[in-house]
Structure 1
């Protein structure tokens, strides 16, 4: 009896993991990937690609649904093709029997493996692992073993043949298990491959045709593949229906505001406005009831907008705000209560009612969006651009008097026109050294922005440009919204640009000085800190110091909630301004 110490300390495996046969990630998307939502789905894809994404007619058909009645005569044409395909499939299943072929394919694997396992030059450990991988038909395991063996090992050259035979067996077994065959004719392995390819093509076409019939989307059907199974007359009838559907789809796309160029379809200006409205609606839907809406009604004696509610008149109130009907009713009611003649009322000061008013104010805001290399992680830049589009739509629709600027921040900073928001992308990382200490004299005419590594984070330069924009604002209500994921790694000293990684105290000090200048000029800085793989406690502390220098705040939020928090903060800021 062996001692307990000689036993294998590893617990016995409860089963064997196999790869999924026929797994197609395109056909089985992960549960975290939401389905396309019409125009909203197209807009999301354009944001992720920096506005350069173009859509094919098939993708357009998925986003824009045509009513089935729009294609009269589509049903008979597709029904005829469906019947022909079903007949072809049934004939194949009634003819062939791939079960013996699968047995032969398995025997071929065993025959190839037998002399390999019998090779006396094999070490016992390698032989045991090789036997296990062959027995369990683990192609990936054999491939890994092939890489581990020495090049001059004789067995190594025989493993690819076994792998090929296993692949053939898997394809034949997939044919046997994937369809209900009832025939007697036994195919060869090569014939089995052809049968499987044909059945897969028929099933794809059947699915496409049924979806085309259900959702009026003949554009999704592959005509070249369909040509192999139907008569030319049937194909021509279907092609005519498809051309009619493409024309209707084109008209519907143009009504939605999409535009077509030589590369495909993209969102035009009107489609972008609809997309912004959809983003804004999703933001307000996610807010708690009562939080969203326009300004809270606040009483002012000399406000610009009258409210429906009234209050008693007081000495000094402007006569323009007088509610004459309510004042006369007060007078009549007082005369009647006092026993006087209500037909000859005598108006007094106590009878007068004036409308409550609400003052309107302007707010100047600069939104700084971090587009450094780290913002690509987790798709944070996508959430940042969605927030910008939603906020721009809110200001244009609800607060047209406000001034709103957007700024892109990377190794330097630049103001972004509203029409270019869709084109923003995080900068590529061009230096992978663990320590970077660079200085560039930007006063040198031979050095341009194109010569700089772009993926650093220059908060100081962004705040400097924001101060210049806010200095020209005709309102004392000024704020800066900074969206970033960590510490700054670039700053200016006069005309010298410093790019320092890891983050340097010299850069932090220059950034804090710029924030202090913003605070002294009456600006408020709110920092929205998004998560990053490299974020640590120092990033959080710096964000707090930066915001506190201007009496601002730090908001921690994940990318999926960024638009909701920024817009709620904007609305909250305006309410605070109005209540002053």
Structure 2
């Protein structure tokens, strides 16, 4: 017989065919926040709060949780039991008065007077009628229904599922309940004392009364946890009622099953549970303002649900010491917000875990989180991809997988891709074909495109490149801070992966200039500091170029302001605005010095400052360079394109 298969929707959690989480997108978001001045830890927390393109963040899950909570409070009110007792009592009194009106005896008149003298409140009337001898059988049944309802309600408050167990209650059932409550109180007392044989007593208790506990606790602690949660929810329900409603409900509870000992035993157990689990929320309250009444048991369940929502909200906030996404109760989250919310929470947890496990975030010696070199490479790759998309895709010039243009072999190979012009590596290609045919069989093609490997070549010409970036406050203020950093990342990644023989140096300049690595530049925070010390930056650039005297010198300068500071012989920075003539003079002197080294100098002018434009035009004439004026979004393409232009020209 042929096998038959049945296909249906997947209901087991995350879709097994769903693509894995996109760490590249997550890392790009973290990197953007870090470059804007956030710490890696706060950037990660922001990612988890806001989510990704594919999943809701913790803030959205929290918002939906509070919306559900608010809807519940706007829909319901807590006086359902009192309202139902009032309805049944009115029916009982109406039937009793009808029966008495047909009786002409003195006793009937006395009973009518007795009914007319009842207290005004419902609980007082029920207590007054507890010993009344009803003439009407319908009235007696209605009053007995009140007692039965109160009994099942107070038990369901503390013991989940009791309402289904106690459908038809006989005097023997009431006695069994009372005995169970007495035994439970004795068990809790033994647990509070720390008796050695408490587990044996628990087993005996469950063997005798296990039908009252469908959740099937395995030990006394699990039993206490379940009972304390329900008892605390019942107390919060009472706290949420008005003083009049609370007193009336507590008085009515004395009539549960017509046996005051039931309510007294429950009150005693509540006190014991509060002593055993003081950490439960016994003092909370909630405001219900709807028009749909809830009975005691239903209201207690609602309070328990609100408590679960509060705990979930705290877990989603991640604001307590030692917080982790692993703390989130996924079963509770699915009950409240559905299966997709669980998938989103799991995906966020997976992103956090994989960022750490894959070494994209590392712990510094001081305990802080840092972006790892691997993460910086990914950020640089993303930045370069963005730049390449703006430059175009001229094969061999910009969008290329080659290690160099053409020239000396590097000794490494890689799979052939469409458009490659490097020579084939025959040995590797034949080896790939033999291994593939051994796996696929002799009927497979002798040679396949997947077998081809090409030999990588290295660029013959070598450059010493210095990227000088303005880090004065105006770069932050005018929204050029992040584009500047992404440009540096893109250029760094291009040099590190495509032109590995080039020597790249990053220089930042504000009041002073300094050399930085790409990680330091990405994490650099904008600070309020006056001064644009291009003079100091060009001094550091000249030092790097002289260190690599065998390479073609290239200097790229990104700035949005004319020089307003220079370095004095004693190492102190001199600042003045408008620029001091001496500042302009010493800066141009460094331009001349770089020109004498044969340096290709390009200035990327951001903004439309006329004084800056005049200055950079002088620099271009004196240094034999050129000036480009991209906007912030086109800065990366302009810088990378100019660097590639110098490579092609040589």
Structure 1 length-normalised TM:
0.49
Q: Which structure has the larger Rg over C-alpha atoms?
A: 2
Structure 2 length-normalised TM:
0.44
